[in-house]
């Protein structure tokens, strides 16, 4: 029996039928939505419609309803970036493994590791050859991804994390070349370009089949099920409690009875509590602006992916930022800084309003070679707000 | 009981405090002592003074006593909250509609803030006229209302290798069910014109979001022209930011990753793009190392939401409501069976309403609990005749390495104390 899942694959139902059939929910006791309301039947001959089209000074669009406007070639060019396995959409350009190594170190290594081996829970991009049939397969670009176009497309549109679409096409070619190299798929001298892109063979290109659940499963599990005496015994074979990995709900919102009953919004309230305490202690110095800091908390969301503040703050992708104001650059305990930051520290750079503002406005200009991939805060107000927020975590 | 049992420890504390107050109330209400129940015999503050005036809260939130009914995260699952998922508190909800404020979130590059006036939707590729719509344009197309579930393909994914997370919220909470208003994707495709696409049978649409992850998926044209919806509102109000405000795609019955949030572009193509999310993710590796792709539909599934580890029985033996949710990406739920003995014997549960296509169904089984331990299971059947499989049946076909599409029968071990635990049984 054909399942809805298989309709497309089987091609049993002509799409023209779907078109004219229009609304397959017509059997759900709702009246069918008009394909084209009577009032619109005048179409583009309606003088008002022509006026609107002319006023937009764009190519004429008739359509069914005459809504929207024609997309300009520049607009389509700006957004239509996807690249298909056959190379459709691939931009001209080239990049070498060697250039890629440097770019990868600057832009990607902080999460994916210098050799694309992955840091913490962040994705591993290399390794895992011949592990797909193992108990714990390692799925990387080399071991799993079937098309190279996917890697280029994803790096160009979605990476680096927190600073997407900041790389040039040549830089993307270089980074993709380096990822191939880190998977031992190309040699060190390799240069990837729009000309040789389709020649690269991906090891798992043949490793996929189209969904076959209808054949492999549905027939097995369809029909009248057993209702009584379906098995002899029921024994526990595994218990979740043994693993003990369930988050403790008291942290999420369930307060002990002696807690403030109004304090029902977990982490945010904690942060606000910290803020208000700080406000009280800071009023004496009169230099702390609680309102500005609250705005800064919002801006800090952009930083949170890599930086922690507050109680229990730890170094993560970036160093923890407690007591940042007055701290020597590159001096958070246990954090592995870039060479630039170590040098800034030994040359006596200390974080204050001025240095922080300069760094946040343009990180790569302030510290050339920093591992921080963040592009910087464009608005001066945001810089001031986030600085004020960080002050609330400084003594 | 062992102190190393973290989940139940919380439940036990809840259970004990809950039982104490309920017990006292039950005693007073059931067999009124000489003085009678003070909640009745004494004039209470609320029966004497004022409550809150109108406008006290211009947009209402749940009363503080419900503050534990919230989305929860499992921090160790992902590298970072910016690209992560949390879970709907299904153990604490009833009915079928999920309130937006506690409906699970899944972001790939964080939840973005976009104003309606900054919203643009482009349609390009193999269309007669590439078009751009503003939000104001979209709301002028004829609109439809439909209720659909949205389930992440990874729902229950952490349970493949064994019982792991102790609570229905964590095992089955990557799901929500909302009533959407919006324009059918078919209407928008027809506005741009599909003559240029030629034979539509082998065509696709590629849909992508406006956030930095550019999450994009390829959808076969037949599905695009069938029931997909470009939605603006859920449960009667604007979509929440975390669900794609101002506009998201709704792909009924298919995995949540395809329900593109902040949808900004629809491209008609002659082949799938094979983007990151449809190759490296959302594919299912079988035991032999070969992976299934294009596994879009969510198979029939159900779970008992109460009693469950986060919703223990607090009232002792006697009348007990067993309830849960069932759904299928292939159509309407026809029947749900419940077993209290781990699948030896089954009885048909009562559906609160006839099943609707690709929407949650609520089921109830009202029993007289004798206070002995139970192994609670539920088993959904949809209109195609498909019966929800056991975990063993799934593993026999797919092996242990899958992540997505785990629709196995769930077992809760309800102890005589009323506490429950996530277990696997033979």
Query: Chain A residues with CB inside 8 Å of B80's CB?
Result: 121, 305
- The answer, for B167 touching chain A at a CB cutoff of 8 Å, is yes
For residues B381 and B335, give the distance between their C-alpha atoms in angstroms, rounded to a whole number.
5
- The answer, for B354 touching chain A at a CB cutoff of 8 Å, is no
- The answer, for B383 touching chain A at a CB cutoff of 8 Å, is no
- The answer, for B196 touching chain A at a CB cutoff of 8 Å, is no
DSSP B154-211: TTTGGGSSS----SHHHHH-SEEEEEEEEEEHHHHHHHH-SGGG-SGGG-EEEEEESS
Nearest to B94, CA basis, from B342, B353, B371: B353
For residues A63 and A67, give the distance between their C-alpha atoms in angstroms, rounded to a whole number.
7
Alpha-carbon gap: A284 to the closest alpha carbon of chain B (Å): 35
* Cβ pair A169, A157 in contact under 8 A: no
Tens of pLDDT, residues A224-247: 999 999 999 999 999 998 878 888
Point out the residue among B131, B343, B357 whose CB comes nearest to the CB of A230: B343
- What's the sign of the alpha-carbon dihedral A32, A33, A36, A38? positive
Alpha-carbon gap: B48 to the closest alpha carbon of chain A (Å): 23
Residues 6+ apart with CB under 8 A from A115: A126, A182
**pLDDT at residue A31, as a whole number:** 55
Point out the residue among A14, A33, A150 whose CB comes nearest to the CB of B275: A150
Percent of chain A past pLDDT 90, that is, above it, reads 43
For residues B105 and B71, give the distance between their C-alpha atoms in angstroms, rounded to a whole number.
8
Please determine, for residue A264, whether its predicted confidence score (pLDDT) is greater than 80. no
Helix extents (H) in B276-327: none
| Section B242-247 average pLDDT | 98
Nearest CA in chain B to A207: B290
Asked whether the beta carbons of residue A154 and residue B387 sit closer than 8 angstroms, the reply is no
* Cβ pair A329, A350 in contact under 8 A: yes
Alpha-carbon gap: A252 to the closest alpha carbon of chain B (Å): 7
Asked whether the beta carbons of residue B292 and residue A208 sit closer than 8 angstroms, the reply is yes
Query: Chain A residues with CB inside 8 Å of B138's CB?
Result: 67
Query: Chain A residues with CB inside 8 Å of B164's CB?
Result: 240, 243, 245
User: Taking the model in full, what pTM does it have?
Assistant: 0.78
Query: Chain A residues with CB inside 8 Å of B272's CB?
Result: 84
Q: In terms of residues, how long is chain B? A: 426
| Range with lowest mean pLDDT among A19-28, B218-227, B239-248 | A19-28
For residues A307 and A293, give the distance between their C-alpha atoms in angstroms, rounded to a whole number.
17
**Best mutation target, B84, B108, B163, to test chain A (most A CBs within 10 A):** B163
For residues B48 and A347, give the distance between their C-alpha atoms in angstroms, rounded to a whole number.
71
Query: Chain B residues with CB inside 8 Å of A68's CB?
Result: 131-134, 137, 191
- CB contacts under 8 A, A 359-378 vs B, are none
Please determine, for residue B313, whether its predicted confidence score (pLDDT) is greater than 50. yes
Asked whether the beta carbons of residue B10 and residue A24 sit closer than 8 angstroms, the reply is no
Given pLDDT bands bounded at 50, 70 and 90, which one contains residue B362?
Answer: very high
For residues B275 and B265, give the distance between their C-alpha atoms in angstroms, rounded to a whole number.
15
Tens of pLDDT, residues B209-235: 999 998 899 999 999 999 999 999 999
For residues A112 and B21, give the distance between their C-alpha atoms in angstroms, rounded to a whole number.
52
Nearest to B157, CA basis, from B282, B343, B338: B282
Distance of CA B329 to the CA centre of its chain: 12
Alpha-carbon gap: B41 to the closest alpha carbon of chain A (Å): 26
ipTM of the complex: 0.90
Alpha-carbon gap: B200 to the closest alpha carbon of chain A (Å): 6
Distance of CA B138 to the CA centre of its chain: 27
DSSP A289-311: -HHHHHHHHHHGGGTTTT---ST
Query: Chain B residues with CB inside 8 Å of A83's CB?
Result: 273
- CB contacts under 8 A, B 102-161 vs A, are 108-110, 122-125, 129-134, 137-138, 140-146
Which tokens sit at B7? 């989940």
| Range with lowest mean pLDDT among A68-72, A283-287, B410-414 | A283-287
Can you tell me which residue has the tokens 């970072």? B80
Tens of pLDDT, residues B319-341: 999 999 999 999 999 999 999 99
- The answer, for B364 touching chain A at a CB cutoff of 8 Å, is no
Given pLDDT bands bounded at 50, 70 and 90, which one contains residue B416?
Answer: very high
């Amino acid at each position: 029996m054909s399942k809805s899942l298989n309709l497309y694959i089987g091609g049993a139902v002509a799409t023209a039928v779907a078109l004219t059939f229009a609304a397959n929910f017509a059997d759900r006791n709702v009246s069918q939505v008009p394909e084209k309301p009577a009032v619109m039947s005048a179409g583009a001959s309606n003088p008002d419609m022509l006026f609107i089209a002319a006023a937009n000074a764009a190519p004429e669009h008739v359509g069914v309803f005459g809504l929207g406007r024609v997309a300009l070639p520049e607009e389509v060019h700006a957004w239509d970036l996807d690249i298909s396995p056959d190379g459709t959409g691939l931009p001209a350009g080239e990049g070498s493994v060697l250039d890629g190594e440097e770019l990868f170190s600057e832009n990607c290594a902080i999460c994916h590791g210098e050799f694309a081996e992955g840091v913490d829970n962040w994705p591993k991009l290399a390794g895992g050859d011949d592990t797909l049939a193992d108990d714990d397969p390692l799925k990387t670009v080399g071991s799993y991804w079937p098309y190279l176009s996917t890697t280029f497309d994803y790096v160009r549109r979605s990476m680096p994390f927190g600073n997407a679409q900041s790389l040039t096409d040549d830089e993307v070619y270089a980074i993709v070349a380096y990822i191939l190299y880190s998977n031992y798929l190309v040699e060190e001298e390799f240069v990837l370009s729009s000309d040789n892109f389709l020649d690269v063979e991906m090891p798992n290109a043949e490793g996929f089949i189209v969904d076959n659940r209808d054949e492999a499963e549905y027939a097995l599990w369809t029909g009248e099920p057993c209702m009584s005496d379906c098995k002899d015994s029921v024994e526990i074979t595994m218990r979740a409690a043994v693993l003990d990995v369930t988050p403790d709900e008291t942290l999420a919102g369930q307060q002990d009875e002696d807690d403030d009953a109004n304090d029902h919004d977990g982490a945010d309230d904690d942060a606000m509590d910290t803020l208000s305490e700080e406000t009280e202690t800071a009023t004496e110095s009169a230099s702390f602006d609680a309102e500005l800091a609250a705005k800064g908390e919002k801006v800090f969301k952009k930083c949170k992916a890599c930086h922690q503040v507050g109680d229990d703050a730890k170094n993560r992708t970036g160093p923890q930022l407690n007591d940042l104001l007055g701290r020597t650059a590159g001096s958070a305990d246990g954090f592995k800084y870039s060479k630039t930051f170590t040098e800034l520290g030994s040359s006596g750079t200390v974080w204050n309003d001025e240095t922080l503002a300069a760094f946040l406005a343009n990180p790569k200009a302030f510290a050339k070679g920093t591992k921080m991939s963040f592009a910087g805060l464009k608005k001066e107000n945001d810089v001031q707000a986030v600085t004020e927020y960080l002050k609330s975590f400084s003594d | 009981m062992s102190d190393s049992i973290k989940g139940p420890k919380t439940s036990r504390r809840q259970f004990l405090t809950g039982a104490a107050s309920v017990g006292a109330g039950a005693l007073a209400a059931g067999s009124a002592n000489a003085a009678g129940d003070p909640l009745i015999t004494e004039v209470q503050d609320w029966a004497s003074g004022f409550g809150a005036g109108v406008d006290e809260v211009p947009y209402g939130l749940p009363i503080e006593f419900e503050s534990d009914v919230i989305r929860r995260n499992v921090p160790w699952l992902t590298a970072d909250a910016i690209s992560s998922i949390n879970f709907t508190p299904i153990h604490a909800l009833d009915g079928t509609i999920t309130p937006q404020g506690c409906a699970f979130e899944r972001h790939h590059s964080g939840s973005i803030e976009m104003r309606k006036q900054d919203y643009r939707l482009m349609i390009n590729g193999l269309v007669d006229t590439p078009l751009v719509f503003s939000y104001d344009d979209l709301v002028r197309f004829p609109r439809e209302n439909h209720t659909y579930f949205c389930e992440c393909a990874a729902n229950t994914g952490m349970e493949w290798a064994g019982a792991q997370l102790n609570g229905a919220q964590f095992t089955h909470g990557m799901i929500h069910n909302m009533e959407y208003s919006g324009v059918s994707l078919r209407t928008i495709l027809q506005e741009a014109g599909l003559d240029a696409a030629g034979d539509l049978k082998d065509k696709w649409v590629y849909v992508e979001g406006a956030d930095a992850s550019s999450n994009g998926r390829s959808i076969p044209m037949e599905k695009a022209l069938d029931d997909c919806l470009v939605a603006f509102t859920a449960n009667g109000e604007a979509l929440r930011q975390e669900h794609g405000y101002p506009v998201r795609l709704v792909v009924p019955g298919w995995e949540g990753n395809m329900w593109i949030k902040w949808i900004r572009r629809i491209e008609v193509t002659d082949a799938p793009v094979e983007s990151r999310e449809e190759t490296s993710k959302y594919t299912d590796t079988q035991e032999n190392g070969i992976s299934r792709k294009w596994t879009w539909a969510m198979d029939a599934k159900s779970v008992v939401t109460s009693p469950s580890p986060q919703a223990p029985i607090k009232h002792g033996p006697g009348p007990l409501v067993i309830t849960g949710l069932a759904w299928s990406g292939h159509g309407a739920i026809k029947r749900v069976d419940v077993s209290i003995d781990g699948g030896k014997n089954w009885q048909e549960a009562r559906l609160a309403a006839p099943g609707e296509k690709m929407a949650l169904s609520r089921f109830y089984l009202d029993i007289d609990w004798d206070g002995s331990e139970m192994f609670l299971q539920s088993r959904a059947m949809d209109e195609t005749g498909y019966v929800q499989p056991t975990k063993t049946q799934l593993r026999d076909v797919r092996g242990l390495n899958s992540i997505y599409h785990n629709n196995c029968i769930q077992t809760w071990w309800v102890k005589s104390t009323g506490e429950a635990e996530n277990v696997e049984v033979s």
